[in-house]
């Protein structure tokens, strides 16, 4: 593993922890050259999971892309990054449990919206506005009104 600071190729593992689902391992490393510490994640590589887009195209499931979308929705909100990572892990687990390795974007989007609705209503509305592609303000207002009725 190359050091991200000095690019030295040797490091030692200081600490290893398994994720809650057992899907990945987090390792704290120390560079043997500059002695700075950094974190790496190990994941077992398996059969690629595919996401079926609205237009029928298939693309590889990208957990980082999903996490980036969640982070954007939760920007400047009191939502822990760990909670967002747990949502991504839940979706990955859901994919692994499926007999076929495909999932439609609407299924992923609905799952994410349900989780965000529990975590933070503002993040939920932000995500929903992009996911549902609101065409105008009235669609946005309808979504807000439905949220207010749920209280």
What tokens appear for 99 in the block? Answer: 């007999």
SS3 132: coil
Compute the distance between CA of residue 147 and CA of residue 151 in angstroms, rounded to an integer.
7
Least Cα distance to 95 among 48, 25, 57 occurs for 48
Q: Name residue, tokens 């909100």.
A: 77
pLDDT score recorded for residue 100 = 84
SS3 60: strand
Paired with 38 in beta bridges are: 29
Compute the distance between CA of residue 100 and CA of residue 98 in angstroms, rounded to an integer.
5
Q: Which 8-state DSSP code applies to residue 35?
A: -
Q: What is the pLDDT along the chain (151 residues), one digit of tens a residue?
A: 899 999 999 999 999 998 777 778 999 999 999 999 999 988 876 667 889 998 999 999 899 999 999 999 999 999 999 999 999 999 888 888 888 888 888 888 889 988 988 898 888 888 887 777 777 777 777 777 777 777 6
| pTM more than 0.85 | no
């Amino acid at each position: 593993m190359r050091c991200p600071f000095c690019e030295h190729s040797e490091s030692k593992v200081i600490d290893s922890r398994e994720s809650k689902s057992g899907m990945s391992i987090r390792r704290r490393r120390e560079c043997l050259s500059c002695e700075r510490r950094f974190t790496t994640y190990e994941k077992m590589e398996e059969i690629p999971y595919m996401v079926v887009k609205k237009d029928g195209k298939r693309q590889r499931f990208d957990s980082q892309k999903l996490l980036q979308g969640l982070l954007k929705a939760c920007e400047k909100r009191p939502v822990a990054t760990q909670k967002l990572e747990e949502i991504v892990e839940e979706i990955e687990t859901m994919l692994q449990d499926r007999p076929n390795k495909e999932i439609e974007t609407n299924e992923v989007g609905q799952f994410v919206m349900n989780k965000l609705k529990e975590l933070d209503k503002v993040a939920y509305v932000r995500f929903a506005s992009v996911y549902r592609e609101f065409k105008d303000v009235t669609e946005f207002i309808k979504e807000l009104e439905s949220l207010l009725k749920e209280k």
